[in-house]
Structure 1
């Protein structure tokens, strides 16, 4: 029969069924990860091995009862074909893929994958609800604090689903392990505007039982009409006042900025309401004499909240200033002056034109060097490119840098530059200048007077929109002009960047030199293509058996993430250089990954006898152009010392079984000896009668070798160069009547790599459980607070208590524990839990905690009346009379409604009285809300329970108190 079973599993070892499942759970909850397999008859449990792995690390195994904290494996279900892994208090760090391996007689017969995901529902809010009339605006909706990251948004308009291909959704992780998503919907608002129109944002997520919906009304914004004029004056010498009329805008809060020749002029005052619910205002600005003499154009720029492009109007002082108009010459005078100017200009050009031209060319000439690249461009290491500019006017030039025709911006100050076209900047950050402003006349369609009529725009039509900028880290440097011995000046412009293989492989840098304030490029330099280097990451030397040859060993080393692909491996032994093994072309050639990095592998053979001597040294050197010095990896010998674990014990059928793990050793020959430890008493030698032995009667420890019940499982080859074994001992005489158990056992491990044997000792520990009372003690206050207590005496280890209360379902409570020493010197621990029971449905925002927190301070609860038909002692007031405490007892059913209302009004006062009289801490008063019974009758009875766990107890002990009530089901 055993031969049939082994044959069956040998066939299954060739065909392994891989099962993949997905398990969803909430945070801080326990969940079972399934893994099952149907066994034939005749399976031996000792040959079954179940191992669970997470992130390639063992978290639970029935071999050696290895279980990591937070996990458990029920070994009793293995023969039934079920071996689930229990994950307790699931956290985000425990998410991921779990692998279940099942082996029978060291043959893998089953493998499955289980993916654990922790579900956290999102919260939904509206980020932006502003719509600008006549312009495209973005409505934004935000979902935060959810997991997993898969989420979907749905937009609605007037209750109907909006299908827009331009709607975008961005999901980003948060520092706490959760995710945040933002969805944007482009909307263009056109007149007429309905103020009751609503938009909706719906979110669908796997952690939600139903969709989250947020409906809102958008806030419309009307752009104003702006016009600028001069205020007439009676006298020529009177100050010139400008008027800026702003009409047809909404909402009311706008700001007005006056700008003359690109410089801001400060002003402010009020607005007025129009009949069509829009506003109008007029702003004036009186120019000084100096400002009037400057002439030029004066702009009135209007900014509105949430609007990136302002509206402006302008006036030309040359045409509008009366003082300038009176100074205009007549036509004949103009002709005379023009002829004089032309004559003088011709004479000047004839006399000095040639010399001036040569002088100007000499002054403006610049000498720009080529782009100087760093000698080595290594991934992750900063590099700098530089251009030198020489000339008499070198201090007036500026340099613009490009990477593959993409502009380079300084990311150290402005942060990473996002892809996409940049929007036009506002006046507050970039003042207007004559270079940016141009006169155009644009009128918007007459939409009920709401659309703005603009007399002057803020951008020149010749200026193109900002293109995409080069991604990556860049820092721009400009060294101040250095005066040389000649009249020329020198300027150095450079860019510091961190090379990235994806961005900079095969790229070129470009530098454009121009004068400040000018668009014309004076000089342009383009760099040569440069090679990006990446240093290899080299693994340690790994040993493996040579296929088909038991007398040789294969040594392997791996190099990864290097660039370019040329790399050299050289193997050495103490006797000289070794020849590497010729690999297949698919393995020998460096292989690129998705990022462009290369990886390669090299192997060589060595006789196994050379390595097993323990003193032979083998090393390999890796040479690459990105390395200043080659990387060396060494290995010495093949002999490894064992690692011996502590002795673990397990009880089975009143008998103890001991085990000790021996891991990481080579060669596989290992010796394990078990010794029994007993305490014996030295006796005097009566025949000798020597006085030397009179004082030599102390106790001693006897060590007796155990030969029966020992077993060595292994050695088992775990890695290509290491073995592991498990030493097992069934305690002799354990559980047999009349046989005294040993004080302890010792496991002695000997190996050729050890100078002295390694010993591990296990000694018997006596753990005594505490004395547990048969029931809970309870006291009730007059305002409905029940104080439950439990006193534990004795015990030789700490006891863990867990309180819970409720009706049909129970929730955890907070309690207070105190420890003391009794009169007889034994340990005492008192646990106290205060419960306040409430009836009815909880109000919105109420929780299970009895107290709330505001600004870090705890507020006392407002207890409700106790609703109970059984007689309960109410401590309404305490009086001391000759040392006797008297309490008033009254059934709850005999109290009138008026008395109950009066009692509820004085809840706050009695709560403070209860805390003072009974010594209660508000932080330990628990609020328990009870639901209604069947048929909507009276509330369900209260249950209070405590779970007691102790190392000496095989199972937890429970003490339960149930409220006595005639009409309720217990």
Structure 2
């Protein structure tokens, strides 16, 4: 059993007043086996010379409980965890979990402080993934009988798990997802069941159970152990005398496997036997089992039965007969003197009781009149799904007016459901239902003058595969008021037929060769599974393209089969209907084959996006959609109102007012058309969202093509001509851009640098202006990464730059308001704050993603930008800030930029 550990790390933002730079801990996935070690990361970038152990404090906690701590240069840690304090000076505070298990799952928090100031905080979620062990118990299954296969997935975590059954690597049952049951150890176990009717074609075929858990697959392959039931024949070996033992033999033919158990019973009592088997040329076995009856058992008489038990078979095969029929001895026995005296006394007794017997002669005559002649069950010539069928039995006798019959499906009694089950109800009723049955009888009918009467008992039913596949009808005949069954008749097994539903021939280009056209025809909803496709063209028969789906159709959940056949021809022979091609589908349920013929080369339509135009009065709105390059010309266009823009067809409403202009032939057998819809132009309704769909249906399409037009107004916002800038006394620049109006919301990207630009992080807020228009304000803060800037960091006391104060209130202490139009007028006295003598290499934005943020949600994130210097010490690249604005109403993005004035460069 394999177990995988997954660790996800979520970093929070922290800020400290020391000169230590914090580092973001990115999300990580760590996998480990059960009972192995796992490392939970916690890293901070520290400068070795500046760190002292005394003011350094670190803690690990799990689910609110302390796991490890480091304070005053002393470490404490729970059992089962390891912490290497020697790595703290390198900024590595990672914690190692020993022998990971389910009990160690949870949220772990790492916090690092220096001089009581928060330096780093991160959250780590630890969880265990256990892959299941998969097994399929081997068992014996009876041929063509319902059997259950089980696939076990044990010891997995977390749920759910998915099961897929395959036969020769093809799926035979839709994938099922199960949560399973929780075990006492905390893991889960699930079992998937497969109901299957094994056939002779399943022998030596590889089946599989594939289990999918958290993206990993495990599959167990196996073969079915199929049991073939024998035909059983019971006979006796002639014996020279009635007083000698009688030897019986029970002959078994065409069974599998070789292991078989034969039981002998006399009047329900088990007898003993001796086995012996031989193999047939077809791989099955035959055997004859003998049983020698003793003198007492032979004279006991009665019924003798041979029952054959096999693995996987619920109802064993059996044969029975009366000893009086099997015993060939019928010669008169040799009588002794005492026996002769007994016979004489018996003759005298017979004479004395003759008169008594004569009194019962009329009773015996009545019994003779009760004798019945019952025919076998007569089945209909064709049993077709959904069509009424009738089975009947004929009963002849002198007293058939007192006869009653009972019908069974296999061993289940049948009752008349014609009043509650509709004739045209569902083909497959829910579990436990018997379907549609109607019981009726005809007679008694008088035949010849002999006094014999006839009664016909019939059963009308509607065949259904789930109920009648492989079934047997039984009829029990008895007299009214009597429990004894006089005669029982059973029908032969019958085949349920369902004619295939055949599609039109679909034409499509071959993916690797556009000059070859692949023709496909599909047959569905048929039973049994044997079906034949024959392709023809003018001049002869074609050979279909072979595929595994054709040779082995698979049943669906209702028991019906589906199959398809393909044939390929050059495009030149099919275009413009130059070559006539047809396919003939043959099936046992069809009286005549089904034929489908091509209607020329089929071309899928191309559908444009929906365009719109308002009337001069702006009261009506016209929508249009171009449909081009299709054949045949029959095309259907439907306009639908999509509520809220949803794609669910159940919420779409068909709209009236649509027109179709065309189709127009633009090339030989190539058409185009235009679909239009005129509707009221209601701005109030349009602002609530939603949309209108144009749905195109064509013979060449498996699924309709849909185009969606959104009910929204696309309006460009009002964009200022420049970026507003304000600088704080700390040397932090706050850049802002105010957009008014517009719909939908615009997308902005801030960048900064010198010769090259790098993206920055910004903040956007929306509110309603004084004029009633929506206003979108985008703000971005940045500072240059220089030694002077780092010196200013030391003077900071944890103060952050407040967004609203920096942007909306120019009078805020320490902040000067600067506009791009008058940069020269506003940089007096501020050059010292913007000086940079740093010689850092590189250019672009160097974003310290999370560490510069304040815990206060109102603080603005400050981006750090490094600029390169020139050949002389005093030269440095000028700072450029550019914002890119994109909007659906704009064909190209709009840019606004700010460039650092030369005066500020010269003063640095």
Say whether the fold is shared (TM-score over 0.5).
no
**TM-score under structure 1 normalisation?**
0.28
Higher RCO (CA < 8 A, seq sep 6+)? 2
Q: TM-score, normalised by structure 2?
A: 0.30
